Amino acid sequence: MERRGFLKASGVVAVSLACSSKSKASHDESPFTEDEFIGVLVDTTRCIGCRHCEVSCTESHGHEVPDILNDNALQEQRTTSEKQWTVVNRFETSKGEVFAKKQCMHCWQPACAAACPTNAMEKTHLGPVKWHPDRCMGCRFCMISCPFDVPKFEYFSANPRIEKCTMCWERLQEGMKPACVAGCPSDALVFGQKHELLDIARQRIYHHPGRYVHQIYGECVAGGTGYLYLSAVPFDEIGLQTDIGATPYPAYTREFLYSVPFVFFGLPSLLIGLNMLACRKNSIQEEGEE
Amino acid sequence: MNQEMESTGTSADTSPRGLKFILSEMKPRGKLFTPFNIISIPVILLGIVILVIRFTKGLGVVTNLNQEYPWGLWIGFDVVTGVAFAGGAYIITFAVYVMKAEQYHRLVKVTVLNGFLAYLFYAGALVFDLGRPWNIINPIIGNKFGYNSVLFLVAWHFMLYMIAELIEFSPTIAQWMRRKKAEKFLKKITLGAVIFGITLSTLHQSGLGALFLMAKPKIHPLWYSEFIPILFFTSSIFAGISMIIFEGTISHRVFRALQPKDDRYSVDDLFRGLAKGAAVAMFAYFFFKVLVFIHDHGWAHFQGFWGIWYLIEVVGLVLIPCLMFAYGARHKRIGVIRFAAIMAMLGILLNRMNISVIAFNWDHAVRYFPTWQEYVVTLMIIFSEVWVFRWIVTRMPVFSDDMPTRDQKQSLE
């Protein structure tokens, strides 16, 4: 019994250590300001569909720049790709034509980072989710797990990379805003800290109750995201998934992972016990036969 | 070392001398042009060519994998399904070493060997699917540990379990190399390896299911459940048992000459015992499936193609083979048991493929279908495993406790 108690206790300690190290990671000191993630507020009522965010994004990451005047890309629904980390789509809604930008949501508790066996997907202390080429082994479990289908894989390369929006990590280091925000001519994008963005969003809803749906997409979805959306129409009309729920994605595997140490220590003791019983039964039987 | 070997070397047909002995055993025996060889050699060669293209030009050139279906046949069948079928090793070692059900002893070595090779080849096939396989050491050597990842846990358990299975099988290797002392020592640590192995199996069989927990919005609600890990574990029990029966039936015919002549228990008796176990495990699994169905309001999603597809899997390939196992065990109908094993394996295949590929992104307009190259590589993996299996069983004392004699070997050729 003593041994079992010890094993139990050590299991509990291991679990609590795992918890504490996790919560510590998300509260690291940030050079930006206090312990808060940064993000971007997308006000789809202000977006005019000019696709300048696409241009500045591709320019600043050295991708092929789309020809926004001639390529008629708004004719169809597009998803982000390994060569284009943000795209604008046009939606015919109950309140007419609406444009909405798509990119990595930079979840507060990202599924991709929880899924990654090598920590190649990293939730940085500032908030952007970043990919490390020297760690990734290309298993694509991040793509399976991401509820927004954001990470893209280079299927036609011998040295493939996982590509997705980084919220312009390099620009942030130099004190600049993300390229899409800087390139937006209509003030549809606001860059800032989580509480600032939520304040701005709530203020806009409060002052123009007729213009907006009284919800902020990203405040709760998947446990909260770095990109927040305001909209005049229900969110599913502008291509945002509404079937995701408010649970942070890592929570779906947490129970399983927490049960691991208990099985790891508990099951062997059970098996040893069963083995002793079986041996005893056999020896009694043999004696009986004699 | 050399001295010890010479002193223990008996008057068997080849006297072992280290490297020379292994080299002499490497030599192929038997006819080259058997039907199996004629089919398997071109497939293996073609598979190698495809893999060269895959590693030089990228995954997309030979597979139909895309941004919406990051995992296809190589993960869904080779890894997820293959590992379920390899579950027989932990079941049989549990019965024999832990519960002391000695009558199953003659099935142990061949099942453990099968399990080990399955992990080596099918889980090893994971490497072909990795985009950046040169970083595969990252989660192992410890420079980057993703503690909170299910895949990290599964990868470690695969590795540790392969070591445990190698230890379980190692007395046979020692016997083959005629190292009596090593054999004695390795037999002593078997029980430890078995207990470690069962624990690891429990965790990674369920862990394979837990991989899909975060894919909640993508998997059809009839297949997604928060209890996937428990369902995967329960089903791995009868997947393993069915594989033992299936594989045992085949190798009993193909390697008839290597089977022990007089054994207290006939293979049919053992299969009947296994069928009983499979029936119980399958009924528990079916019952659990029904509970999950009711708990998750399955009726709301039970319609159209997916409803029928679900019914085929759960009733057609779980409940019916379950009843067949029970019937066959009770009425000594070995044919029914064998047929039930094949049906149960199809059910497992369908279940694993549904969760990882078929019912994954089920509502998308463009579906994934494997390319012929993906099938060829999968066949290549299966065939190469059979080659290695055949090489081992014709040289090591796998089917019986004595070394294969020259007569036995010759009668195979």
CA distance B360 to chain A (A): 9
pLDDT over threshold 80, residue B18? no
Instruction: Kindly tell me the number of DSSP H helices and DSSP E strands found in chain B.
Output: 21, 0
In chain B, residues with a C-beta closer than 8 Å to the C-beta of A134 are 135
Size of chain A, expressed as the number of residues it contains: 290
In chain A, residues with a C-beta closer than 8 Å to the C-beta of B66 are 155
> What residue spans of B177-189 are helical by DSSP H?
180-188
Query: How do residues A52-110 score in pLDDT, each as one tens digit?
Result: 999 999 999 999 999 988 888 899 999 999 999 999 999 999 999 999 999 999 999 99
Q: Which residue has the tokens 């098996």?
A: A271
Handedness of CA A73, A74, A75, A81 (dihedral sign): positive
Find the residue in A nearest to B57 (Cα): A158
Whether B59 sits inside 8 A of A271 (CB atoms) is no
Predicted confidence band of residue B411 (pLDDT cuts 50, 70, 90): low
Q: Tell me A66's DSSP state.
A: P
Helix, strand, or coil (residue B340): helix
In chain B, residues with a C-beta closer than 8 Å to the C-beta of A130 are none
Predicted confidence band of residue B375 (pLDDT cuts 50, 70, 90): very high
In chain B, residues with a C-beta closer than 8 Å to the C-beta of A143 are 67, 70
Q: How many CA atoms lie within 13 A of B160 on its CB side?
A: 20
The ipTM estimated for the assembled molecules is: 0.88
Whether B145 sits inside 8 A of A119 (CB atoms) is yes
Handedness of CA B140, B141, B146, B147 (dihedral sign): positive
Look at residue B8 in the predicted model and tell me its pLDDT. 39
Q: Which of A122, A253, A264, A279 to mutate to test the interface with B (most CBs of B within 10 A)?
A: A253
Look at residue A208 in the predicted model and tell me its pLDDT. 94
In chain A, residues with a C-beta closer than 8 Å to the C-beta of B146 are 116-119
Report the alpha-carbon distance of residue A248 to residue B216 in Å, rounded.
12
Query: How do residues A208-222 score in pLDDT, each as one tens digit?
Result: 999 999 999 999 999
Which residue of A138, A147, A244 is in closest CB contact with B131? A138
User: Across chain A, where does the E strand assignment appear?
Assistant: 38-43, 87-93, 96-102, 121-123, 129-131, 152-153, 162-163, 189-193, 227-230
Which pTM does this prediction carry?
A: 0.88
Find the residue in A nearest to B74 (Cα): A139
Q: Check: CB of residue B190 under 8 Å from CB of residue B17.
A: no
Q: How many CA atoms lie within 13 A of B329 on its CB side?
A: 20
Average pLDDT (A176-192) is 94
Query: How do residues B63-120 score in pLDDT, each as one tens digit?
Result: 999 999 999 999 999 999 999 999 999 999 999 999 998 889 888 999 999 999 999 9
Of A209-213, A274-278, B392-396, which gets the smallest average pLDDT? B392-396
Q: Which of B75, B137, B202, B213 to mutate to test the interface with A (most CBs of A within 10 A)?
A: B213
